[in-house]
Structure 1
Amino acid sequence: MKIKATTIYAPIFVLLLLLQLYLPSFRANIVLQIGVLVTFLFFESNILISKKFLKQLLPIVLLLVAGFVGTLFHKYETFDVIKDIFHFIKPIVGIFIGYFFFRKINNLRVFVQVVVISGVISALIHFYIILFKVDFASGSISAIREFTRDNFLELFAIFFLLFYRKFESRSLFNNIIFNWGIIILLSMSCMLYFSRTMIVILFLILFTVYGYTKITKKTLIIISLGISSILLLFVYLNNANIRRAKPGLEGFLYKVKVAPEEIFVTNINRDDHRDLWDHWRGYEAMRAYALMERSPSSFVVGTGHGSLVNLKFFAPLSGDSKGLKHISELHNGYMYIFYKVGAIGMLIYLFILFRFYAYIYKKNNFVNVFISVIGLVYLFSTITITGLYNGRDVIIFILGGLLYYSNSFKKESAVLIS
């Protein structure tokens, strides 16, 4: 008896997403993902890959290759070079897994259901952590977020559920009570992350779904009003007496207040821990830029795979009591890309993201809209959490599936892997 592809690949896909979120080891995850991909290619025969998909993937591969140019100009430890290579391989592996798995399943409704169920399981894990691992009664936002910083899987799950019917004219699940139960569960879980990034992404998804991210006269007016509202909010926050490290809403508003400074302010007193941690992303970027100035060629081709940023002190960024003085990754993904692969790599990276965003100008359907959403999400999240190269990113697997379905209804040339 032949086993259906859904029975095999849907549970594996869910497991990979959850491990990506809750298994803290990047190395363990990437080895597992590569192992799953190699196993798939070994056991499956006559695997078709559309040429359009390969063209979409090519710029991401070019970024991986571009990293070797800077490496040729410098001498790095082999371990650090390999570590960077795996970081640049990760999005390629994630896209391939999503693409191959759902090419075998070949059912858009099942794909959306799998993402939603993954989000539901993640939300249940989140509630378990809050109830049994966190002192929720303290009212401290920092305490609540200690183990759960953000979760884009749950955010995509709730919007997949809400808008599948809008585009496909049918419910994702037949039971109305089950539908609403999932919506309530995911909504409550998403709110309890208290994540600034998730709030921005929520609005990006809403604006994209309703067509407000297309560049038109109407949307430019709406964007201008939105920017004005944000500026007014920050004017208020900067004039209000909002104190640092306070419990509840005040602590969250303080994090919102310092968000722009955290990224862009680089004039930092390293000895003042409050100043340093409030502007950590800016400090990382400042140190990376200072090191690039020593080698002018790095502004064009980057410092390459294996390059490290010297923080000039041991920062408590790991489980080691001593801390880390040299780091490979930066929170600000644009600076990370610029540092590793230079201006050439930055242009390629922006091309990748804007290409995904441009799907909003294609046929207005579920797949194209959410590919465009992902392009915008990466454009924003690259500022704060490394975007496409975030070690915990799960969106890339969803993107792989969406890229398959974006081409699955078209007659196109394909490459056969036997």
Structure 2
Amino acid sequence: MSSTKISKDFLYQILFAICILVTYLNNYELTFLVWIATILITIKKKHSLTILQYIVPYIAILIVSFIAWFFYDNTIYEVIRDITYLLKPILGLVLGYQLCRSANMKVIKTIIYVGFIIAVIHLGIIFFTAVVHKVLNIHELRKYAGYFSDFEVYSLILVIFHKKFDVVLSKQRFYLLLITIAFSSFLYLSRANFIQAVVFYMGLKGYFTLNKRAIIILISFFSFVIIGYTAIYNMNLSRNGKGLEALLYKIKNAPTEAFKAKVDKDDWKDFNDNYRAYENMLTIRVMKNEGFWGMLRGKGLGSDIPLGQKLYTNDGTVLTKVSILHNAFMTAFLKSGLIGVFFMLCFLIILLKQGKTDNDHIKQVNLLLIATAIYLFFDNWVLLGLYLKTESKSVIIGFLLCYKQILLKKDNQTRVIE
């Protein structure tokens, strides 16, 4: 019996790794097929109400988008395309929940070592690109090796706080994992991942539980951020700079990139530096023209936003309109109106409100989920949140939620015995 169980757990660990790794291939059709196939393979006879409350908000967004479609003349191809995109968070949450079968899977270790594998592959791609193809420009390196990696940040944070999750690592293994994953994560030079790492670190340190110590630390941190940004803002940085200068320029531009109120589309520099803000402005303008009911229900599946000019993307395609925006809130607003935005906020609030417990292990899982919710408020605004075709956070959330249920059940059984 024991060997059968171990082999089954190992199989699910392999499936988990495959479902995470496929997202890095930047092929959503392949990701969609792999996730669907894995859900069918691992389907459970029973699902708890816990996972249901997390997927209901995204199901509601999809249903409202479907109903709103009947008020517009959007093509079937565009509708089917949107259905697959709007299904992604639902599939990811269910998939992650189903892949966590038992505590014997060593869930935290699984996330750590899958992150390590991704980091090794990433560093290998960077090394090959730099040595063989002589590409040293940071912008070109990111084009080949990837622009960000949320999953590696999860792995890195879990390595740092491994003792709190009852994960045993030798000193040598700890430093191997820490240095490899940290170095790989840094080389993405992703502002979003830096913010994610800070939010997760502060979350697991308990700084989001408001008390005198936490308030002092938060005030000190934000003061440091304001002073640091002021210094960077006053630097004379080139948008085509290399290495650290490229990163600093991106940091300098970050506040206006998604929030700027006016963007000149005829000014190439202004348009490219603040494209996310431009998308938001167009979406609000289009939705205002729909009137009250249009803004309430959205424009439905297959709807899009005309850009007013040609846009050349990183993968070489040319766009004149966009259906899925960088901003998840704006995407929900376009497809399902203010109702959709409401349900997206409901999901974040549900994720944020993890129950209290005396069990230290469960408490750490709660802190990680709460930190994820806080980060998603930002990530939804600039990187499409759980709708992004290359993201895997939905799988991790589902994985951790099921793990938490297993720990709660085990903790309740222990209390009954006592």
TM-score (norm 1): 0.89
Specify the SS of the correspondent of 1:130. helix
Map 1:19-418 onto structure 2 (within 5 A): 19-21=22-24, 23-41=25-43, 47-102=45-100, 104=101, 106-107=102-103, 110-134=106-130, 140-147=137-144, 148-168=146-166, 170-171=167-168, 173=169, 175-296=170-291, 297-317=293-313, 319=315, 323-359=318-354, 362-363=357-358, 364=360, 365-410=363-408
Q: Tell me the percent identity.
A: 25
Question: Counterpart amino acid of 1:128?
Answer: G
1:251-305 alpha-carbon deviations (Å, 9 max, x no partner): 2111100011111114222122111100010111112122112211232112221
Q: CA deviation at 1:360?
A: 7.5
Q: What value does the CA root-mean-square deviation take over the aligned residues?
A: 2.2
1:98-156 alpha-carbon deviations (Å, 9 max, x no partner): 11121x2x016611121111111111111111111247976532122223101111111
Distance 1:411 1:107, change over 3 A: closer
Distance 1:262 1:212, change over 3 A: same
1:147-185 alpha-carbon deviations (Å, 9 max, x no partner): 3101111111121122131243x51x4x43222211111
Contact 1:367/1:402, CA 8 A, preserved across alignment: yes
1:204-254 alpha-carbon deviations (Å, 9 max, x no partner): 011100111123454344333333332222322222212221112112111
| In the alignment, structure 1 residue 8 sits paired with structure 2 residue 4 | no
Contact 2:103/2:406, CA 8 A, preserved across alignment: no
Specify the SS of the correspondent of 1:182. helix
Specify the SS of the correspondent of 1:258. helix
Specify the SS of the correspondent of 1:408. helix
Q: CA deviation at 1:400?
A: 0.8
Distance 1:252 1:176, change over 3 A: same
Contact 1:119/1:186, CA 8 A, preserved across alignment: yes
Deviates more, 1:380-389 or 1:59-68: 59-68
Q: What is residue 416 of structure 2 aligned with on the other side?
A: none
5+ residue gaps, structure 1, are 413-418
Distance 1:210 1:142, change over 3 A: same
Within 1, Cα distance between the matches of 2:315 and 2:105?
42
Specify the SS of the correspondent of 2:310. strand
1:25-84 alpha-carbon deviations (Å, 9 max, x no partner): 11121122112212333xx6xx23112332333222222212223212211011111111
Contact 1:262/1:279, CA 8 A, preserved across alignment: yes
Deviates more, 1:27-36 or 1:106-115: 106-115
Q: What is residue 414 of structure 2 aligned with on the other side?
A: none
Contact 2:15/2:99, CA 8 A, preserved across alignment: no
Within 1, Cα distance between the matches of 2:258 and 2:179?
33
Question: Counterpart amino acid of 2:330?
Answer: M
Question: Counterpart amino acid of 2:148?
Answer: D
Q: CA deviation at 1:370?
A: 1.3
5+ residue gaps, structure 2, are 411-418
- Equivalent residue pairs, number: 401
